[in-house]
């Protein structure tokens, strides 16, 4: 790749890099299980977990990590979490069943998200902790619980000063009413504490949320309640880019291109959330999370050591300890960061009427893209084995990757990707870091294409072993059997 060309090089975990560098490993996986395929690396998950745990051990020894299962359907990740002794956060009856099947008992399960009547009915007798989203849920739990054992609940709150409005959680203005319900129904509702979840990279937002929750803890005492949990949710960031300067360089070139200067870099007039007018390119692009360079463990450490002015500068971790609060968190993407890739094959390469080069793959945009967000890391092309003939068009080439659906919008990249050479049918394409929502959040079986198989990769005794995700067992991987 010529250094001067815009590029979005992906950060790749050394284990994943070693797998991709092992001759034939990726191609063998597709030959055995079919293309495309999602690969997960539970050992990378375990490493991510160890890093978050190290921060918590140092700063807040009384803690609980609830793995947010929604980030990926993988059973291998669930089994890894279960074996590591952490808890799980589930957001549907199906995730609840998967967690139970993977070995989590009710004392290690928390249910988050908006819950309907059917799910609530299924929860009241089980002993799992219900992270309550709204007053209706709270009242309904009390009704459904009847005279049986009190249902453990957390009250999720939202609407913190200077935070954008959220559709989730009990508005702070209604928290007093919720405490009234919890106090009046204490035989049926066991208030464990307060929760929030903020999907923001802005540290001050979480600090304000912690402050608000500490205020609610005081209010709960005055209702005769004894909250013992402060759940700070998930939202701890991933690091996608291997080179922040090159990322910035790509975005700078993109802005120029949007103004009509230099080579066009977008498909179909896409502006990625930028506002373009005669005076320039304004605003924050939708893909800004791909620029992040702060790892989740540092973000967590910064939060736990953040001083709270209203509490004499004592830190979040100190205040949690002084209030006898166990600190819970619900990381999803931070645990699976770099623990997954997606493999696909080039079907054909064509030229569109405007001269754009389209590399058509055997997967669709929704297979590697969460909620239709543009993914700003470069896919990697691995030439097909035995492909030693001359390349059709040597030299760098700017391409758009296109999907297999009969939809104009099924472009896997709406931004241009520069490759060393024009790919050829049969070449393999690697999408880095797809385990966090990218592979599982939006994928549909459109045109009856089946969802790609999910495979688990383990590295033991210098070898990579691959099995269906559902068959992976951490203990077997440790013994070298899988």
Ligand X SMILES: Cc1ncc(COP(=O)(O)O)c(C=O)c1O
**CB of 238: closest distance to ligand X in angstroms?**
9
Q: Return the range that interacts with ligand X (CB under 6 A); candidates 177-185, 228-236, 265-273, 305-313.
A: 228-236
Between 135 and 276, CB nearer to ligand X: 135
Q: Return the range that interacts with ligand X (CB under 6 A); candidates 29-37, 78-86, 120-128, 332-340.
A: 332-340
Does residue 231 touch ligand X according to CB under 6 A?
Answer: no
**CB of 113: closest distance to ligand X in angstroms?**
6
**CB of 300: closest distance to ligand X in angstroms?**
11
What character string, x for contact with ligand X (CB under 6 A) and - otherwise, covers 54-93? --------------x-xx-----------------x----
Q: Strands, E, within 368-416: which ranges? A: 380-382, 397-402
H-helix or E-strand containing 184?
Answer: helix 175-184
Verify cis geometry, omega within 30 degrees of 0, for the bond prior to 445: no
Does residue 236 touch ligand X according to CB under 6 A?
Answer: yes
Give φ, ψ of 51 to 5 degrees.
Answer: -65, -45
Tokens at 372, concatenated: 């239709």
Tokens at 458, concatenated: 């383990």
Helices (H) and strands (E) in the chain, counts: 14, 22
**CB of 19: closest distance to ligand X in angstroms?**
24
**CB of 331: closest distance to ligand X in angstroms?**
5
Among 57, 143, 199, 322, binds ligand X (CB under 6 A): 199
Between 137 and 330, CB nearer to ligand X: 330
Query: What does the angle CA 458 – CA 31 – CA 242 come to, to the nearest 5 degrees?
Result: 55
**CA-wise closest residue to 83 among 103, 63, 61:** 103
**CA-wise closest residue to 372 among 346, 344, 409:** 409
Q: Return the range that interacts with ligand X (CB under 6 A); candidates 210-218, 279-287, 327-335, 351-359.
A: 327-335
Between 26 and 71, CB nearer to ligand X: 71
Verify cis geometry, omega within 30 degrees of 0, for the bond prior to 36: yes
Between 112 and 364, CB nearer to ligand X: 112
165-200 exposure pattern, b = at least 16 Cβ within 10 A, e = fewer: ebebbbebeebeebbebbeebeebbbbbbbbbbbee
Q: Which of residues 178-197 bind ligand X (CB under 6 A)?
A: 197
Quickly list H helices, 259-391.
296-304, 316-322, 333-336
**CB of 245: closest distance to ligand X in angstroms?**
26
**CB of 400: closest distance to ligand X in angstroms?**
28
Does residue 370 touch ligand X according to CB under 6 A?
Answer: no
**CB of 133: closest distance to ligand X in angstroms?**
9
Q: State in Å, rounded, how far the first CA of the chain is from the last one.
A: 37
Tokens at 42, concatenated: 């539970």
Q: Which of residues 17-36 bind ligand X (CB under 6 A)?
A: none
Angstrom distance (rounded) from CA 446 to CA 286: 25
Among 152, 193, 234, 403, binds ligand X (CB under 6 A): 234
**CA-wise closest residue to 291 among 197, 375, 207, 415:** 375
Interaction site with ligand X (CB under 6 A)? 68, 70-71, 89, 112-113, 197, 199, 233-236, 330-334
């Amino acid at each position: 790749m010529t250094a001067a060309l815009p590029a979005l090089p992906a950060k790749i975990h050394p284990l994943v890099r070693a797998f991709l560098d092992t001759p034939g490993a990726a191609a063998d996986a597709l030959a055995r299980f079919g293309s495309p395929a999602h690969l997960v690396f539970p050992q990378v998950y375990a490493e991510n977990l160890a890093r978050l745990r190290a921060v918590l051990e140092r700063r807040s020894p009384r803690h609980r990590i609830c793995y947010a299962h929604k980030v990926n359907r993988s059973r291998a990740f669930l089994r890894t979490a279960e074996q590591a002794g952490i808890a799980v956060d589930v957001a549907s009856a199906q995730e609840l069943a998967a967690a139970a099947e993977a070995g989590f008992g009710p004392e290690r399960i928390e249910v988050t998200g908006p819950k309907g009547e059917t799910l609530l009915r299924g929860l009241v007798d089980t002993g799992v902790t219900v992270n309550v989203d709204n007053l209706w849920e709270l009242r309904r739990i009390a009704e459904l619980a009847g005279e049986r054992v009190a249902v453990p609940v957390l009250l999720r709150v939202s609407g913190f000063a200077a935070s954008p409005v959220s559709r989730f959680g009990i508005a702070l203005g209604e928290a007093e009413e919720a405490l009234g319900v919890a106090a009046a129904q204490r035989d049926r509702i066991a208030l464990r504490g307060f929760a929030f979840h903020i999907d923001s990279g802005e540290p001050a937002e979480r600090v304000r949320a912690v402050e608000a929750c500490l205020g609610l803890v005081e209010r709960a005492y005055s209702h005769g309640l004894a909250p013992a949990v402060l759940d700070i949710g998930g939202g701890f960031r991933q690091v996608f880019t291997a080179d922040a300067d090159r990322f910035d360089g790509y975005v700078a070139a993109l802005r120029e291109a949007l103004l009509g200067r230099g080579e066009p870099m977008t498909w179909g007039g896409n502006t990625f959330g930028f506002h373009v007018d005669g005076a320039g390119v304004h605003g924050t692009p939708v893909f800004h999370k791909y620029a992040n360079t702060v790892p989740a463990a540092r973000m967590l450490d910064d939060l736990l050591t953040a001083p709270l002015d209203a509490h004499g500068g004592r830190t979040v971790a100190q205040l949690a300890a002084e209030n006898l609060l166990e600190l819970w968190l619900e990381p999803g993407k931070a645990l699976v960061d770099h623990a997954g890739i997606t493999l696909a094959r080039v079907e054909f390469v064509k030229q569109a009427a405007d001269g754009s080069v389209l590399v058509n793959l055997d997967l669709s945009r929704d297979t590697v893209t969460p909620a239709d967000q543009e993914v700003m890391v470069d896919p990697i092309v691995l030439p097909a084995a035995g492909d030693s003939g001359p390349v059709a068009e040597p030299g760098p080439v700017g391409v758009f990757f296109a999907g297999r659906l009969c939809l104009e919008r099924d472009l896997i990249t709406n931004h241009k990707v520069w490759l060393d050479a024009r790919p050829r049918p049969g070449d393999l394409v690697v999408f880095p870091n797809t385990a966090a929502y990218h592979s599982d959040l939006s994928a549909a079986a459109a045109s009856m294409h089946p969802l790609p198989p999910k495979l688990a990769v383990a590295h033991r005794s210098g070898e990579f072993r691959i099995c269906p995700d559902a068959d992976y067992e951490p203990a077997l991987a440790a013994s070298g059997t899988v």
